[in-house]
Amino acid sequence: MALTTSLPPGILFLLSNLPQVVLPPLAASLLLYALRVLYGLAPPAWLAALAYLLSWPLAWTFDVQYRDWRIQREARARGAECPPRIPSKAIGGVDLIKQFGKDMEKRIIAYRHWDFIKEFGPTYNLRVLFENRIFTAEPEYIKRILATEFPNYEKGPDFTFQMRTLLGTGVFNSDGDMWKFHRGMTRPFFSRDRISHFDIFDRHADAALGLMRARMAEGCAIDWQDLVSRFTLDSASEFLFGQDVRSLSAPLPYPPFPSASALSPLPFSSQEAYDAYTAQASTHPANRFAQSFLDAQITSARRSRFTRAWPLMEFWGDKVKRGLDVVDGFIDPLCEAAVRRERERRLREGGGGDGASAKEKEKEEVGEEETLLEHLVKLTDDPQIVHDETLNILLAGRDTTAITLTMAAYMLALHPHVLKRLRDEVQTRVGARRPTYDDIREMKYLRAFINEVLRLYPPVPFNVRYAINATTWPSLVPGGKPFYVPAGVRCLYSVFIMHRRKDLWGPDADKFDPDRFLDERLHRYLTPNPFIFVPFNAGPRICLGQQFAYNEASFMLIRLLQRVSHIELVQEVNPAAVPPPEWGVSGGSDGSDKVVFRGHLTMYVQGGLWVKMTEEPLAGEDAEADV
Ligand code: HEM
Ligand SMILES: *[C@@H]1O[C@H](CO)[C@@H](O)[C@H](O)[C@H]1NC(C)=O
């Protein structure tokens, strides 16, 4: 372990691929030697050099051909066939990579997949750089990967290695026993409806909406995505550490100067004044935390472009680590202090033989007021484990809920009648007071609304697992051959695409309509086929924070709707947030999208979600209590 952390990534990569690096030139030199000894032939130096140089591509080509041949043979032996391969015109599918890169600029994510599906069906081999990648948007196969055949699919060494700098070996980034250990340690914390969460949500929702109100009083548009990211960051960090990052105390961004002036007057008289404000905002500790956390995620996600060979791009130094200093600067002292406090507590209570079973019991129980950190240090005193675990949950819980709330406001802006109905439900069930857990459970339309947001804009649109052993996926057409899934193959699956398939959800699948979770469409499509809707994944690795997320999102939306009667989208205030002209007409979409959404690990809206809102507080007790 010590060795692996001290060597530069590039060296480590070459060492772990030593045979591939050393064997080809070794074979070339053997060949040259044999020619000389057996036939007395001594090729000129340039030819020898060429032989060495070509040894790598030749060996590689041979290896690729051999693997392909073996996979075909294994498939035949099982009476199966390989999933159809997406044709590519260039060696290594570089034309596909290029095309996907270009699409990203102008088109809705996954745009090209709709063409592939039309031609090949929802399961195919998207092979690039000589590596098979089985893509699927088929509920039957996603169910196997996540649930029924769970033991045969793992995140895999490639993914976990890629994310190791950021996530260590936490629950999100481990497999096998290590994952079981982390999951077991964390689960009790999520297993109950902890009332104390609502205090956290309430405080931070109030702070966020207060900031929004002040900005609106200036007549300015606000970036709702930025605001709810702060809300979820502060909520998640307080829930985890008992102390929040205080990102809501840092200055909010304004739209760029001066393009916004008509729609959103800026309180700056010059570019210099604007720049000074922006510079001051970006050095605020809370904004630095958020920025470095984001940078670390983007850099980690970008590694997958270079597949397993990413260490060659960061040959002498780990690029993610650099950005993490600020994040660790916040987390590490809290973790260390918690470990210390727990040690002192144990010493105080004396290591007397008061029965191991009582101790065990205490570990499993989670106090109502306990933070996750306080719970973790009861189970382990290894600061690294505590650090990894809390950071994993911060990552898992923050952006996912933030993008849910972002897309929720976006949908409310595009569908005023839905906003009206939700507000009626808030008025009927809650009025102007603070919502409770029971309120949220009872509000059927709100739940349907959130589900519809998660259907069209699942925060984790794409995901990946590796098949450990070779297996087959049964054919879904009568008399068809099953698909062969070779050992070690990368299986990509997309809930984003599955959630928009018209053959699974009906002809209006690309329309936003919360009623599909309430009316006869529910019984026609979802009830008989529950795996067509899996925004939180499914099976043993299902999202631990699902209930937390529903509570958090519901709480914030109720608080918002108690104050606001209309939301207007003003993406024009930031040119970077306006979709390019081709954006609307894309496969799997009804063409009505007015924001650019992209994905790194999770989905986000490019340039922010800029809105103006109309305030019209609901009447009722404690309506203005927080003003
Ligand atoms: C709408 C919000 C959310 C969505 C859509 C969501 C979605 C997901 C998905 C798709 C996974 C599976 C990732 C994978 O295994 O590849 C996952 C895992 C996880 N989520 Fe969430 N999540 C949300 C909110 C939260 C929150 C608020 C928390 C915690 C406070 C959380 C904690 C976790 C954890 C710990 C895992 C890892 C579980 C494991 O690997 O065993 N999530 N989530
Ligand atoms: C994979 O196959 C090996 C050898 O047959 C077996 O020992 C192992 O349990 C299998 N692993 C899984 C996850 O099925």
Strand ranges in 172-247 using DSSP code E only, listed in sequence order: 222-223
Inter-residue contact 574 to 260 (CB < 8 Å): yes
Is residue 510 packed enough to be buried (19+ CB in 10 Å), middle (13-18) or exposed (0-12)? middle
Of ligand 2's atoms, which has the minimum distance to the CA of residue 152?
A: 13
Q: Could you tell me if residue 7 is inside a domain?
A: no
Which of 465, 468, 471, 485 for a ligand 2 pocket mutation test, highest count of atoms within 8 Å of Cβ?
Answer: 468
- The string of pLDDT tens digits covering residues 354-398 is 545 555 555 556 666 778 898 899 888 888 889 999 999 998 889
List pLDDT tens digits, range 254-271: 988 776 567 788 888 888
pTM for the whole structure: 0.92
Site residues for ligand 2, CB cut-off 6 Å: 151-152, 468-469
What is the CATH number for 270?
1.10.630.10
Ligand nearest to the CA of 488: 2
User: Model confidence over 55-105: pLDDT tens digits?
Assistant: 988 998 899 999 999 999 999 999 999 999 998 888 877 888 788 777 777
For residue 468, give the ligand nearest its CA.
2
At residue 364, the pLDDT reads 58
> Which uninterrupted H or E stretch holds 206?
helix 196-217
Residues with CB under 6 A from ligand 1: 171-172, 183, 236, 393, 396-397, 400-401, 404, 459-460, 463, 535-537, 541, 543-545, 548-549
Q: What percent of the chain has pLDDT over 70?
A: 93
- pLDDT (0 to 100) of residue 260: 59
Does 284 fall in a domain?
yes
Output b/e per residue, 166-178; b: 16+ Cβ within 10 A.
bbbbbbbbbbeee
Kindly give the distance from the C-alpha atom of residue 70 to the centroid of ligand 2, in angstroms, as a whole number.
Answer: 19
Given a cut of 50, whether residue 1 has pLDDT beyond it is no
Indicate whether 416 belongs to any domain. yes
DSSP codes, 413-426: HH-HHHHHHHHHHH
pLDDT score at 622: 56
pLDDT of residue 569: 96
In the chain, pLDDT over 90 holds for what percent of residues?
A: 50
Q: Is residue 61 part of a domain?
A: no
476: left (phi over 0), alpha (psi -120 to 50) or beta: alpha
pLDDT for 627: 38
CA 418 to centroid of chain Cα atoms: 27
Judged by average pLDDT, the poorest of 224-228, 298-302, 547-551 is 298-302
Please state the rounded mean pLDDT for residues 242-259.
85
Q: According to the model, what pLDDT value does residue 519 have?
A: 97
Helices (H), 350-443: 356-364, 372-379, 383-414, 416-429, 437-442
Q: Is 491 annotated as a binding residue?
A: no
Residue 552 sits in which domain range? Answer: 187-459+535-626
Q: Is the pLDDT of residue 585 over 80?
A: no
Residue-level pLDDT at 626 = 46
572 lies in a domain? Answer: yes
The residue contributing the CA closest to ligand 2 atom 13 is: 152
How many domains does the chain divide into?
A: 1
Report the nearest-CA residue for atom 37 of ligand 1: 172
Q: Inform me whether the pLDDT recorded for 222 exceeds 50.
A: yes
Nearest CA to ligand 1 atom 39: 541
What would the pLDDT profile of 172-204 be if each residue is shown by its tens digit? 999 999 999 999 988 888 866 565 688 899 999
Overall average pLDDT of the 487-504 stretch? 96
- Residue range 528-532: mean pLDDT, rounded: 97
- Determine the atom of ligand 1 nearest the C-alpha atom of 392: 35
Within a domain: residue 253?
yes
pLDDT of residue 440: 94
Atom of ligand 2 nearest to the CA of 468: 13
Mean pLDDT of 209-235: 93
Residues 6 or more apart whose Cβ sits within 8 Å of residue 487: 467, 468, 469, 470
Residue 136 in this model has a pLDDT that exceeds 60:
yes
Q: How far is CA 57 from CA 20, 61, 245, in A?
A: 11, 6, 51
In this structure, what is the dihedral angle of CA atoms 222, 225, 228, 234, given to the nearest 10 degrees?
Answer: -110
Q: How far does residue 244's CA lie from ligand 1's centre (Å)?
A: 20
Atom of ligand 2 nearest to the CA of 469: 1
Q: Does the structure show a pLDDT above 90 at 435?
A: yes
Q: Which of 214, 182, 96, 609 is nearest to 372 (CA)?
A: 182
Residue 126 has pLDDT above 50, yes or no: yes
Q: What is the mean pLDDT of the chain?
A: 88
Q: What is the DSSP letter of 360?
A: H
| Burial (CB count <10 Å: 0-12, 13-18, 19+), residue 362 | exposed
| pLDDT value at residue 204 | 96
Task: Determine the average pLDDT of the residues in 215-228.
Answer: 92
Pocket test for ligand 1, best of 158, 160, 171, 400 (most atoms within 8 A of CB): 400
Which atom of ligand 2 approaches the CA of 151 most closely?
Answer: 13
Give just the sign of the alpha carbon dihedral 38, 41, 45, 51.
negative
Which residue's CA lies nearest to atom 9 of ligand 1? 536
Q: What pLDDT score does 3 carry?
A: 43
**Which residue puts its alpha carbon closest to atom 14 of ligand 2?**
152
Please report whether residue 291 resides in a domain: yes
| Residue 299: pLDDT over 80 | yes
CA of 151 to the centre of ligand 2 (A): 9
Q: Which residue, by CA, sits nearest to atom 10 of ligand 1?
A: 536
Ligand 2: distance of its center to the CA of 487 in Å?
10
Does the residue 568 lie in any domain? yes
Mean pLDDT across 341-359:
69
Q: How far is the CA of 260 from the centre of ligand 1 (A)?
A: 37
What pLDDT is stored for residue 362 in this prediction? 56
Cβ neighbours of 606 (radius 10 Å): 16
**Mean pLDDT within 539-567:** 96
